[in-house]
């Protein structure tokens, strides 16, 4: 075979490979886009002695914060979560702090710091549904419990977190993406 024949042979194979890859990727992207993005519903007991069900907040943007009393990063984050709840509650934000992997006293902890957000207990059962590898993990759900964002942050003043909440609420971000990474 000549160099020209080999080149034509390989170019033909490459074009076929790229065509098949493009078709496969397009099919995958279409399937993903059509996938139901609704978060799995749950009902958990709360510190208040009643229960909380995710689907009862379909008309709100919901922030789920998976935390534990022993987690130093959670201790750092929770004051910022309280601030965000106070700031955006009137716009439709609902915060549910889901206590997981607990060996302490979440009621005493929440009372000590005066947090006003809803605290769900026994959250270990739903950790896999919300892709929780560690604490703190945050799941942000847009109205109708549609997945909006998922992150692991501990900065109580995280611009990335606040802007993600703002977007889920239909508000403009406070700063550009370059500033969010700080």
Share of the chain above pLDDT 90, in %: 75
Q: pTM of the full predicted structure?
A: 0.78
CB-facing half-sphere around the CA of 181: CA atoms within 13 A? 2
Asked whether the predicted pLDDT for residue 175 surpasses 80, the reply is no
Share of the chain above pLDDT 70, in %: 77
Asked whether the predicted pLDDT for residue 5 surpasses 70, the reply is no
Average pLDDT, the chain: 85
Give pLDDT, residue 86: 97
Digit-coded pLDDT (tens) for 9-38: 555 544 443 343 334 334 334 433 446 789
Asked whether the predicted pLDDT for residue 168 surpasses 90, the reply is yes
Residues β-bridged to residue 120: 46, 98
The arithmetic mean of pLDDT across residues 122-144, rounded, is 96
Q: Is residue 177 a contact partner of residue 101, using CB atoms and an 8 Å limit? A: no
| Edge-first strand listing for the sheet containing 118-120 | 118-120, 93-99, 61-67, 137-142, 146-151
The arithmetic mean of pLDDT across residues 94-103, rounded, is 97
DSSP string, the chain: --HHHHHHHHHHHHHHHHHHHHHHHHHHHHHHHHS--BPPP-EEEBTTSSEEEGGGGTTSEEEEEEE-TT-HHHHHHHHHHHHHHHHHGGGTEEEEEEE-S--S-HHHHHHHHT--SEEE--GGGGTGGGT--SSSEEEEEEGGGEEEEEE----TT-HHHHHHHHHHTTPPPSS-HHHHT-
Give pLDDT, residue 117: 97
Digit-coded pLDDT (tens) for 37-95: 899 999 999 999 999 999 999 999 999 999 999 999 999 999 999 999 999 999 999 99
Give pLDDT, residue 6: 56
Give pLDDT, residue 47: 96
Asked whether the predicted pLDDT for residue 136 surpasses 90, the reply is yes
Token code pair at residue 72: 């130093």
Residues β-bridged to residue 98: 66, 120
Give pLDDT, residue 8: 61
């Amino acid at each position: 075979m000549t160099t020209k024949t080999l080149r034509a042979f390989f170019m033909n194979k490459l074009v076929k490979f790229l065509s098949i890859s493009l078709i496969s990727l397009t099919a995958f992207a279409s399937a993903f886009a059509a996938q139901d993005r609704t978060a799995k519903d749950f009902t958990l007991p709360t510190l208040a002695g009643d229960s909380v069900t995710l689907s009862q907040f379909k008309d709100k943007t919901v922030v789920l914060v998976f935390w534990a009393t022993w987690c130093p990063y959670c201790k750092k984050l929770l004051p910022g979560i309280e601030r965000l709840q106070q700031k955006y509650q009137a716009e439709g934000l609902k915060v549910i702090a889901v206590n997981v992997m607990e060996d302490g006293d979440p009621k005493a902890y929440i009372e000590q710091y005066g947090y006003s957000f809803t605290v769900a207990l026994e959250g270990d059962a739903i950790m896999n549904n919300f892709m929780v590898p560690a604490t703190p993990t945050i799941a942000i759900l847009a109205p109708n419990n549609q997945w909006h964002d998922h992150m692991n942050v501990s900065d109580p003043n995280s611009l990335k977190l606040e802007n993600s909440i703002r977007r889920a609420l239909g508000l403009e971000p406070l700063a550009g993406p370059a500033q969010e990474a700080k």
